[in-house]
Amino acid sequence: MSNYYNRLDVNEDMDISRKKEQRKAIKILKSIDELKTNKNLNDDQKDKINTEHMWRKVLDPSYKSAEEKRELEKENEREVAIKNKKKEKTRTEVEQQNKKKKMEQIKKDAKLQKELDEKEAERIKKERYNKWWKQERDNKWKQERDNKWKQERDKKIGNERTLNGKESSEQRLLASIKCKLKTEFNLLLNEGNSYKYARRKLLLKYHPDKNKQTIEKLSTIMIQQINELF
């Protein structure tokens, strides 16, 4: 079984040994400082001076010699260079990714713009077609309306002409009948007949019952004119 106090003895021995080593380091460093003041040094003295960093580490484990500092600086520079290289690589990769995303976005925007342009062109085409179709429909409707109006106008004009021609014919016939009746009536009066006799004579002469060979309508007109005139 191990003794707990044995650990304390070991630690004490280590502390004593370290203190001795530190005293030794102090002594050697002092002698090294004295040697540095001399210009003429032999090889052993130079080798002793070169061990300075070893003894200083004994006093201060974190101590760095000039050479170690240079190596550390070089190492730091290498690490910084590696970090900068990684940063540059990352920056380049990010730039490439951003450039790629930008190109993809440009293509996407171009595609979207093309679709919008095609839709706009289709809308304009459809709008123009609807406008043309509406105009054609309106023109057709106007043409049909004008044709209908023209037909009605021509029909009206034709009816008016027919009516005017008919009226003109009837008026001429009526004027001829009146002239004939007045002539016959005046001849009867000139023969010494009375007004009443002359009128009755004409009524009997042109009565429809006695003029069945003639147009009944004409006989009726003759009787009407006799009654109006005399």
DSSP string covering the chain: ---HHHHHHHHHHHHHHHHHHHHHHHHHHHHHHHHHT-S---HHHHHHHHTHHHHHHHH-TT---HHHHHHHHHHHHHHHHHHHHHHHHHHHHHHHHHHHHHHHHHHHHHHHHHHHHHHHHHHHHHHHHHHHHHHHHHHHHHHHHHHHHHHHHHHHHHHHHHHHHHHHHHHHHHHHHHHHHHHHHHHHHHTT--HHHHHHHHHHHT-GGG-TTS-HHHHHHHHHHHHHH-
In angstroms, rounded to a whole number, what is the distance separating the alpha carbons of residues 44 and 50?
Answer: 10
In angstroms, rounded to a whole number, what is the distance separating the alpha carbons of residues 16 and 10?
Answer: 10
In this structure, what is the dihedral angle of CA atoms 83, 88, 93, 98, given to the nearest 10 degrees? 130
Q: What is the pLDDT of residue 210?
A: 67
In terms of C-beta density within 10 A (0-12 exposed, 13-18 middle, 19 or more buried), how is residue 55 classed? buried
Q: Which region, left, alpha or beta, applies to residue 49 given φ > 0 means left and ψ of -120 to 50 means alpha?
A: alpha
Q: What is the pLDDT of residue 8?
A: 44
Q: What is the pLDDT of residue 193?
A: 84
Q: What is the pLDDT of residue 28?
A: 86
Map tokens 């190596």 to a residue: 71
Q: What is the pLDDT of residue 106?
A: 92
Q: What is the pLDDT of residue 2?
A: 47
Computed from CA positions of residues 198, 201, 207, 211, in that sequence, does the dihedral angle turn out positive or negative? negative
In angstroms, rounded to a whole number, what is the distance separating the alpha carbons of residues 8 and 14?
Answer: 10
Below-50 pLDDT ranges, the chain? 1-6, 8
Residue 102 has phi, psi (to 5 degrees) of: -65, -45
Q: What is the pLDDT of residue 120?
A: 93
Q: What is the pLDDT of residue 18?
A: 81
Q: What is the pLDDT of residue 70?
A: 84
Q: Whole-structure pTM over 0.75, yes or no?
A: no
Give the closest residue to 60 by CA, choosing from 32, 33, 25.
Answer: 25
Q: What is the pLDDT of residue 141?
A: 83
pLDDT in tens, 165-202: 555 777 888 888 888 888 888 888 888 888 888 888 88
